[in-house]
Amino acid sequence: MNPFLSKILIDIARKKLEKKQVNKPVSKKQIVPLVRTFQVELSHAVKEYIFIIIGVFSAGFGLKGFLLPNHFIDGGATGISLLLEHTTSLNLGLLLVVVNLPFLILASRTIGKKFAIRSIAAITLLAIVVHFVNYPIITEDKLLIAIFGGFFLGSGIGLSMRGGSVIDGTEVLAIFLSRKLSLTIGDVLFLINLLIFSVGAYVLSVEVALYAILTYLAAAKTVDFVVDGVEEYVGVTIISNKHEELRLMLTEKLRRACTIYAGKGGYGTSGESYDKDIIYTVVTRLELARLQTEIDKIDKKAFIIMGVVKDLKGGMIKKKPLKEEH
């Protein structure tokens, strides 16, 4: 890391420790792990915001380069904003913020304030991009508009999700309702978009609504490609010599249930083996970035295996989202 930045982090760590232990000297041994934690948080934050920025400009290109000039709509909060833009004189950038605001308030309560703040920043940036950036109009072919408009919009949504935020708040509503009702997130999203497309068929035309469905399908498949889908859970297996610290981090700091397997290391040619606990937990895709950050703080060399979990039954996975520090 840059020496100047390292010095700043050391100073911040020292001041934070001095506030906690008044009248006691701060040792280097105390500063080093805190600085390492700051470094991990900073590097992850930079990577996540790069994803968000690229995602916002991709979504902006899908909207202004394809959908807006040809009066197309999409699903979700973006689709609602586009419908309102067609039927009122309000600016799309303003509508994107206003329509997503209730979903972001819900996100702050169900996922975390940090996630909601990051999403507000992403949606605000998208509104600015849509209002001020002049993208070229690529084509007037309706089929190409539907497919590639959906592709770039879906890429933007997917990249933003990988950065730990959303630029379309209906995913948050779908997660919330799936916990309350006996429906999957995919079912909830389908019902929301069915309503939007029905209104689009009435207000605009049936043809526009049909192309909107094609746009939505292209966007949804692109999101699947980028982040494996918002409705899927991820099973995470963690193998590390610092398994006890990781277990405490999961159960006490993140308040996430986990399962511990007794295991033995089998690496090496000498035939030596040693006991180690193997940790298994399940998180949603939106919570994965937070979990990876916390694991890196404890052990950057931890061996992590992630796999998509298609079906879940029982347990508390839908009732206890990761808690963030405020």
Q: 286 vs 171, 172, 296, CA distance in Å?
A: 10, 10, 17
Structure tokens at 264: 């033995």
pLDDT > 70? residue 47:
yes
Q: 159 vs 91, 98, 192, CA distance in Å?
A: 25, 22, 22
Q: Give the model's pLDDT for residue 112.
A: 83
Among the ranges given (8-17, 61-70, 222-231, 290-299), the one the predictor scored with the smallest mean pLDDT: 222-231
Q: Give the model's pLDDT for residue 37.
A: 82
Q: In what order do the strands lie in the sheet with 303-309?
A: 259-264, 275-284, 233-239, 303-309
pLDDT > 90? residue 217:
no
d(CA 2, CA 4): 6
pLDDT > 60? residue 319:
no
* Mean pLDDT score of the chain: 83
In Å, the largest CA–CA distance within the chain is 75
pLDDT > 50? residue 282:
yes
271: confidence class by pLDDT, cuts 50, 70, 90:
low
The one-letter code for the residue type at 70 is N
Highest mean pLDDT among 47-56, 175-184, 200-209, 271-280: 47-56
326: confidence class by pLDDT, cuts 50, 70, 90:
very low
Average pLDDT, integer, range 198-210: 88
Average pLDDT, integer, range 214-218: 88
Instruction: Check: CB of residue 301 under 8 Å from CB of residue 288.
Output: no
| Sign of the torsion formed by the C-alpha atoms of 102, 49, 174 and 190 | positive
Angle at 263 between CA 259 and CA 266, to 5 degrees: 145
324: confidence class by pLDDT, cuts 50, 70, 90:
low
The one-letter code for the residue type at 40 is V
161: confidence class by pLDDT, cuts 50, 70, 90:
confident
Average pLDDT, integer, range 231-249: 87
Structure tokens at 59: 């979504």
Q: Give the model's pLDDT for residue 178.
A: 77
Q: Give the model's pLDDT for residue 232.
A: 67
Enumerate domains of the chain plus CATH numbers.
45-227 (no CATH), 233-309 (3.30.70.120)
Q: Give the model's pLDDT for residue 122.
A: 92
pLDDT > 60? residue 321:
no
- 3-state DSSP assignment of residue 230: coil
For 256, which DSSP code? Answer: -
| Cα within 13 Å of Cα(241), Cβ side | 3
- 3-state DSSP assignment of residue 262: strand
Structure tokens at 274: 């040693």
